[in-house]
Structure 1
Amino acid sequence: MSDIGNIRMQVMWNRLVSVVEEQALTLLRTAFSTSVRESGDLSAGVFNPKGEMLAQAVTGTPGHVNTMAEAVAHFMAAIPRDDMFVGDTYVTNDPWLGTGHLHDITMVSPSFLDGKLVAFFACTAHVVDVGGRGFGADGKSVYEEGIQIPIMKFAEKGVVNRDLVHLLRVNVREPNQVVGDFYSLAACNDVGRRRLTGMMREAGLSSLDDLGTFIFSRTREAMLERIASLPKGSWSNELTTDGYDEPVKLAATVSVGEGGLHVDFSGTDAMSRWGINVPIIYSKAYACYALKCVVAPDIPNNAASLALFTVSSPTNILNAARPAPVSLRHVIGHLVPDLILGALATALPGRILAEGAGALWNIHLSVRPVAGAEGRRAEVLMFNSGGMGARPGLDGLSATAFPSGVHTMPIEATENTGPIVIWRKELRPDSGGDGEFRGGLGQIIEIEALAGHEFDFSAMFDRVRHPARGRAGGVDGRAGVARLDDGTPMRPKGWQHVPAGRRLVLELPGGGGYGPPERRSSEARQLDLTRGYVSGSST
């Protein structure tokens, strides 16, 4: 290809990224749920007619993007090409075919140009409720966790499936929010389709075949160059998580060869009887993300880059078989990157950050008036982040959602969704592990229902009994705590009750430190004191 041809293809590649970014921003602007609108818990991407991901939006989470990259093929297998029409949109929340649990809705829409199938658009978002037990770990099977939507048509030839919409409305606690999010997801794909066909007509393209070849060949070449520079061999790591009622061991072996990297989860504990199991599609998504962070963080994420990472596992908590309960698959799944990075730390000394809080401290509140009182009922979902591990050469980031990448919800937006008050939301002093480079801080959050109200909440917390470990001589981060304001301890997982007049206090875990504490500079320690990151007694 000539230099001019290469330049033109690069411009088209950039245009394609802008198309999917506008697709994602449409979902952000129109979503009903605060978890999508305020936190960006979503993904969007464009795929070729073979179902291979060409480009993803920058906005989004690895757990959604990388599972969606595999999910589109499942849609294509379920809906024959002859049953695909202009104006179609397909939907599922199947945990094993989508993104790992029922609360994530994935929609896929075919895109046609002059009657010819030229692409698929896909998007995913977390909705506030799917019925059943609600968002929590208490279910004993996926059947208890909510309504299951097999791969089916949300719309055919532009006409929405009203029976599906009615079925949703009578199965969820927040029908307006949930149905609104379904329409937002469909609109998101519609915007992508319109922008793509406009771009193709403007550029005189009848297909994306040549552009896809350009994208995949350049990506694969760059990835193989990076892999060639890595040491070859196999390295293992183990990590203990809180589990539900007993600790859970995660194990992984990472093998680096000339043609790619492989992760094996053999040695990981068996499936749990509680809803913390992880379908392999989600474990693979975060394993691939961790590998890419190390190998090639600056190379675009698409089918070619993902193809060089493979994952295997016997049936266990990271490869849960249907019908295992999987509602909180993110809690264990978000710890997979620390597991993978810990193995690579041996192979790449001085390049891997310390462990962090990992899993989001999600909390679902079910608020209601006390008996005999008038008031408002509401389902409120909050995403909260602990501290990242310290990095070689830099302190860890505080209250940052790594590896999920979602934003922390503004308290004003959260309070607007239900009758609650968030009295306190601040950094937690002394929660970051000491070291030459300090671990990131967690947060302290204090929540109360409005007068005359009480609430149940679903705890989805980890790093309470097993804090983030430091690296290279760094100190462990501080463990998390869940309690009432009178000191009553609360469990880290499961539905629990907060009576009227009491406040729920969450003390989120901090990240581990990096390097021996005695190497931390006096200037850095003084700055920590000045900013209130540490108390005088901790230095």
Structure 2
Amino acid sequence: MSTSEFDAVTLRILWDRLISISDEIVETLVRTSFSTIVREGYDLSVMLFDREARLLVQGTRSIPVFIGTAPVTLAHMLARFPAETLRPGDIVVTNDPIIGTGHLFDICVMRPLFREGQLVAFTMSITHLPDIGGMGFSAAATEMFHEGLLLPICKLFREGVVDETLVELIRRNVRVPEQVMGDIYANVSACEVAARQIVDFMDEYGIDDLVPVSRAICAQSERAVRRKIAEIPDGTYRNRVQIEAIGEPVHIACTIEKRGDAIAIDFAGSSDCIRAGINVPFCYARAMAIYSIKCITAPGIPNNEGSVAPITVTAPEGCILNAQPPSPTAGRHVVGHFVTPLIFGALADAVPDRVQADCGMINIITVQGKRPDGDALSTLYFVAGGFGALSGLDGAPTTPGPSNMACVPTEIWESRTGITVERKVLRPDSGGPGRHRGGLGQEIMLRNDTGHLLTVFSMANRTDFPAAGLHGGQAGALREHQLEGVAVHPKSRQELKPGDRLLLLEAGGGGIGDPRLRDPDAVRVDIENGFVSRAQAVAVYGLDLPQQDAAAD
């Protein structure tokens, strides 16, 4: 097959096959990883590029923050190692936050793919590592140098031979070397599967060059996204959001220019960077902006270069959404996740049926210390607040947004860490009231049963500014952390002695629409399910209940 033109059926078959290949690469990555962060949490992404470095497909289970970052990373890799100098078996890596995904904890692993001696494609695999040295995954650093080991663009493998010096350098700088190198080698394995699958794909369909296929797929994606963008009324839209930081709150701002079938987003007016690890490199801010527009326009279109082409993003250098070294960025999600509600809020009146009320968002806890058997422990605990309501749909309970991280099952967490999940229940009345209710948060009690002292870093948001509702909907409940019954700072470092308990009260999602317009039968079902108390049903939703029932809670 050598023609650059494809009929719709053929193109769909080729496209679906490539997506299937990328999804198989994801499963390879998950099944060979050592850490629960990847194996259970799916903090990962895999991408395939044509030989012109055009993003062709991305794994379906990839997380939003990696949309659009890999092409920039690949461009820098090819500037360091030009395509004509690459050889079969080469593996190029980096965790540079500015040209990667925004912090040191994500490793980007790239392999050039060859067929019959000719370079035909590139694959890249990205995962969050369980540790990269330094202070650990937290917001506590005041400079990037505190946060861990930065790997410049370098070759981990040269023509199939591993660089043992680089491996030893990594191992000597991390707390859990077996897990870290196991996860890095899992990325290498995923790239190996990609190389084999792409060659088989090209052989099966008689394709000598992926570029025509790539151009056709990207062109079709771009046309589809542009059609949806064109449906948004032309205009200039603005918004500003406050976010709890360390000390004084910070804010992010946007101006959205919608003209025809293109959108330009500018983050001018956002706060400057601060001396805490919640600054956001531009690669991350851009990814979240692209994700937000895709949710509003064409969420079903797979991610590739064409699907992001109509969206332009800019930010002033040095602002909190365009951090420059040495600003620390480990907890960039603490601010970066607010890009989505910022953009949704700006466009809420323009496309009221397409935007979402604010989410309770994900909460990430870093735990360092020892397991019950004395082995080193450095891992993350993911826990979700409630999902924001959508037009015509209640928000799901304990569902992360805008991230799509999976939560580690309790049985896996306890067996791998020695930390007991003593209690895990939904929080009644935590979902923002509305015609469509926000999703509930949850209450989780963690108990240190390792027999050792644990260090815990928190990176919580939604502690001062709740998930806002839309169009008359109300805000969800705030997030709170308590250590042995005493409230602690949500972005602090805490020590848990053996037997100590850490309580996580997770934020609820915002509601949409006037709560008094909610279907009374839906409110009664909420009461039966324990989502809404009788008192809230009467006072906020206006449900007519007998006085004794209203006071029964």
Normalised TM-score (structure 1): 0.96
The equivalent position to 2:326 in structure 1, one of 314, 323, 327, is: 323
Aligned AA (1:175): P
Deviation at 1:4, TM superposition (A): 7.3
Contact 2:370/2:450 (8 A) holds in 1: no
Q: Give distance in 2, aligned partners of 1:452 and 1:3.
A: 65
Which residue does the alignment assign to 1:420? 419
Contact 2:21/2:197 (8 A) holds in 1: yes
Which residue does the alignment assign to 1:297? 299
Aligned AA (1:69): P
**SS of alignment partner, residue 268 of structure 1:** coil
Q: Give distance in 1, aligned partners of 2:197 and 2:370.
A: 44
Q: Give distance in 2, aligned partners of 1:488 and 1:303.
A: 49
Q: Give distance in 2, aligned partners of 1:395 and 1:55.
A: 32
Which residue does the alignment assign to 2:464? 465
Q: Give distance in 2, aligned partners of 1:533 and 1:122.
A: 43
Q: Give distance in 1, aligned partners of 2:366 and 2:359.
A: 23
**SS of alignment partner, residue 9 of structure 2:** helix
Q: Does 1:504 align with 2:502?
A: yes
Runs of 4+ with deviation above 3 angstroms: 1-6, 373-377
The equivalent position to 2:248 in structure 1, one of 246, 249, 258, is: 246
Aligned AA (1:330): H
Q: Give distance in 1, aligned partners of 2:382 and 2:530.
A: 24
Which residue does the alignment assign to 1:527? 525
Contact 2:359/2:400 (8 A) holds in 1: no
Aligned AA (1:439): G
The equivalent position to 1:344 in structure 2, one of 336, 341, 347, is: 347
Aligned AA (1:435): G
Q: Does 1:408 align with 2:410?
A: no
The equivalent position to 1:335 in structure 2, one of 327, 333, 338, is: 338
Which residue does the alignment assign to 1:434? 433
Contact 2:442/2:506 (8 A) holds in 1: yes
**SS of alignment partner, residue 85 of structure 1:** coil
The equivalent position to 1:353 in structure 2, one of 346, 349, 356, is: 356
**SS of alignment partner, residue 16 of structure 1:** helix
**SS of alignment partner, residue 383 of structure 1:** strand
**SS of alignment partner, residue 453 of structure 1:** coil
Q: Give distance in 2, aligned partners of 1:224 and 1:310.
A: 13
Deviation at 1:380, TM superposition (A): 2.8
Deviation at 1:3, TM superposition (A): 9.7
Q: Give distance in 2, aligned partners of 1:103 and 1:415.
A: 23
Which residue does the alignment assign to 1:13? 15
Deviation at 1:221, TM superposition (A): 1.8
Deviation at 1:447, TM superposition (A): 0.7
Structure 2: segments with no counterpart, 5+ residues: 538-553
**SS of alignment partner, residue 506 of structure 1:** strand
Q: Give distance in 1, aligned partners of 2:8 and 2:392.
A: 38
Taking a change above 3 Å as real, the CA distance of residues 504 and 18 of structure 1, as seen in their structure-2 partners, is: same
Q: Give distance in 2, aligned partners of 1:352 and 1:254.
A: 15
User: What does 1:138-537 correspond to in 2, within 5 Å?
Assistant: 138-314=140-316, 315-358=318-361, 360-368=362-370, 375-450=374-449, 452-485=451-484, 487-537=485-535
Q: Give distance in 2, aligned partners of 1:530 and 1:395.
A: 16
Deviation at 1:426, TM superposition (A): 2.0
Q: Give distance in 1, aligned partners of 2:380 and 2:373.
A: 22
Aligned AA (1:185): N
Contact 2:135/2:141 (8 A) holds in 1: yes
Percent identity over the alignment?
39
**SS of alignment partner, residue 342 of structure 1:** helix
Deviation at 1:10, TM superposition (A): 2.2
Q: Give distance in 2, aligned partners of 1:374 and 1:125.
A: 27
Farther off after superposition, 146-155 or 449-458:
449-458
Deviation at 1:376, TM superposition (A): 4.9
Aligned AA (1:272): I
**SS of alignment partner, residue 273 of structure 2:** coil
What whole-Å deviation, never above 9, does each CA across 1:143-170 have from its counterpart, x for those lacking one?
1100000011111111111111111111
Deviation at 1:9, TM superposition (A): 2.5
Which residue does the alignment assign to 1:86? 88
Aligned AA (2:466): P
Deviation at 1:283, TM superposition (A): 0.3
**SS of alignment partner, residue 426 of structure 1:** strand
What whole-Å deviation, never above 9, does each CA across 1:351-378 have from its counterpart, x for those lacking one?
32211113x2000112348xxx985542
Q: Give distance in 1, aligned partners of 2:374 and 2:126.
A: 33
**SS of alignment partner, residue 24 of structure 2:** helix
Contact 2:360/2:467 (8 A) holds in 1: yes
Contact 2:429/2:533 (8 A) holds in 1: yes
Aligned AA (2:320): I
Deviation at 1:72, TM superposition (A): 1.4
Normalised TM-score (structure 2): 0.94
Contact 1:45/1:65 (8 A) holds in 2: no
Q: Give distance in 2, aligned partners of 1:243 and 1:440.
A: 24
Deviation at 1:431, TM superposition (A): 0.7
What whole-Å deviation, never above 9, does each CA across 1:430-485 have from its counterpart, x for those lacking one?
11011111100111111111163332200010000110111111111100010024
Pairs aligned (count): 534
Contact 1:474/1:513 (8 A) holds in 2: yes
Which residue does the alignment assign to 1:57? 59
**SS of alignment partner, residue 272 of structure 1:** coil
Which residue does the alignment assign to 2:548? none
Deviation at 1:391, TM superposition (A): 0.9
Contact 1:235/1:346 (8 A) holds in 2: no
Aligned AA (1:225): R
What whole-Å deviation, never above 9, does each CA across 1:240-295 have from its counterpart, x for those lacking one?
11112221111111111124111110111110110000000000000000001001
Say what the alpha-carbon RMSD is for the aligned residues: 1.6
